[in-house]
Amino acid sequence: MLLSAVIFFGAALATVSFTFFIVGRILDELKHVAALERRISLDPRCIIREHNRFFPQSELMLAFWLSLIYLAIWLASMALSLAMDSG
């Protein structure tokens, strides 16, 4: 069971790196579009709100939310695997 927890942790790390890649792409898009309008804050809520305002149906935003869902699944699976191993 410990091996499965390590595998789930590795999947969670891969998902986190992919999520940071997506956030970087979102920030790059916002920098190009909103450069003339105003400075972009690094607050995550502001980034998501501004990106939804400029790109209402973006594939990047869908990928971002799906990566967060996968991250939650991997972390829950890892916790369950560890709980089953200890109990």
pLDDT value at 76 more than 90: yes
Q: What is the pLDDT of residue 32?
A: 82
Can you tell me the distance from the alpha carbon of 30 to that of 50, in angstroms, rounded to the nearest whole number?
8
Side-chain-side CA neighbours of 47 within 13 Å: the count stands at: 16
Q: What is the pLDDT of residue 13?
A: 96
pLDDT tier for residue 17 given thresholds of 50, 70 and 90: very high
CB 50 within 8 A of CB 34: yes
59-78 mean pLDDT: 94
Cβ atoms < 10 Å from Cβ of 75: 16
Which alpha helices (DSSP H) does 1-87 contain, by range? 2-34, 44-54, 59-86
Q: Percent of the chain scored above 70 by pLDDT?
A: 90
